[in-house]
Amino acid sequence: MPFKMEKTMSTNKKELPSFLQTSLDFYLKDLIKYDDQHLVVGDKPKVGDVVLQSNDYLSLANNTAIRETLKKSVDLCNESILMSAVFVHKDDSKPTLEKQLSSYVNFDNCLLFQSGWSANTSLLQTICTEDVNVYIDFLAHMSLWEGARSGGAKITPFLHNNMRHLEKMIKRNGPGIIIVDSVYSTVGTIAPLVELVAIAKKYNCATVIDESHSLGVYGKHGAGILDELNLSSEVDFMTASLAKTFAYRAGAVWANNNFTQCIPYVGYPAIFSSTMLPYELDVLEKTLHVIQSMDDARSYLFKQSQKLRAGFRDLGITIRSESQIISIETGEEDNTYEVRKYLEKNGVFGSIFCRPATSPKHSIIRFSVNSSLTDAQIDKILSTCYSAIHSEHLYIK
């Protein structure tokens, strides 16, 4: 009998058709095999452990002023708008937050979504139609791939951050849409945006830049890398999840064209998923103001990220990161499991990235640095990794 079959069969209230049960059993056998759990599921951290799993880069999840805004706003909210955003797009009902977000990052306009996933899939499903070439970085976020796929575009991936390869592909296939993350969510590399924009101009391509891990962190008052590089008016679309530095559940698309006027009526998540609620907009507006005032926290975040990257490199560990996202490569899943267990036993928690986020033999453990990380915590991460390699003989690349 296949692994887990007995368990699933015995707890099922109703038997599935065998073709379906077989595929579920395949997933269970393939994925739920580390202490009867998925590889990404680890121990619960204890008080005092170093936990770098959340992308709350400015440590805003427990911000008192933001929480107060939420409480007050929930109490005051008396609108019932549990419906698709298509019904609330009259000019006078547009959230002022959209205007504030567009001027924050220097784009012409902005449209909010329920999540970064919805923002990316709505945008790309709309513009990546069947006759369009799409050039997408191999490490671009899955929501970008999914959006391009659902539009039916001709997708040509290019090697990670390799502008020569991108140019070669464009020369071969013709103009299209170039899609990248500005800061890559797995390994923390940064896209060569100046070069990329020059290539886009040269070959008459459009550009989509996902700033999820850059917004709130880079640029003037956290306005993002595009703003920092003075590129906001040179690219066509920017997107971001607001579940990173904004520490909430939402997403947005920015455009320098009239695209945001039509996307509410074309993108499926915009049409077929319900809109954000008034108190959610209030929280995000408050968060935006708080983020803009946090230059000191951003400087500290850069300093601590730099220290952790340097510390890993001093240990001989290969770090690709250029940002606050710092990952160690643990390779095979079995080894990743052992490293994770050892780190957690010693009070160090990162996030596991394995299939389908990485290729099978290149799993990683990601540390998302935040602005509360102390020097002592950095030392603890480094000394634990050191002993994982030298005392436990575990593989960290």
Where does this chain bind ligand PLP (CB under 6 A)? 115-117, 120, 141, 143, 181, 185, 210, 212-213, 241, 243, 251
Nearest partner of 290 among 52, 57, 53, judged by Cα: 57
- Tell me the one-letter amino acid at 59: S
**Which tokens hold the place of 127?**
């513009």
Which of 146/234 has CB closer to ligand PLP? 146
CB contact at 8 A, 238 and 209: yes
Beta bridge partners of 349: 51
Smallest distance from the beta carbon of 240 to ligand PLP, in angstroms? Answer: 7
The whole-angstrom separation of Cα 127 and Cα 263 is 9
Residue 212 Cβ, how far from ligand PLP at the closest point, in Å?
4
The answer to whether the Cα torsion of 235, 241, 242, 245 is positive or negative is negative
Cβ atoms within 10 Å, residue 346? 16
Question: Least distance in Å: CB of 280 to ligand PLP?
Answer: 13
DSSP-derived pairing of the beta strands 206-210 and 237-241: parallel
Beta strands in 18-69 (DSSP E): 32-34, 37-38, 50-51
DSSP string for residues in 222-271: G--HHHHTT-TTTSSEEEEESSSTT-SS-EEEEESSTHHHHGGGT-HHHH
Strand ranges (DSSP E) for 87-227? Answer: 109-113, 133-137, 154-158, 177-181, 206-210
Element containing residue 329 per DSSP (H, E): strand 325-331
Residue 337: C-alpha distances to residues 41, 195, 225, 354 (Å):
10, 39, 35, 10
CA angle (59 as vertex; 57, 60 as ends), nearest 5: 110
186 Cβ contact partners less than 8 Å away, ≥ 6 residues apart: 139, 325, 327, 353, 357, 358, 364, 366
Q: Minimum Å distance from CB 115 to ligand PLP?
A: 3
CB of 247 to ligand PLP, least distance (A): 11
Q: How far apart, in whole angstroms, are the C-alpha atoms of residue 291 and residue 283?
A: 12
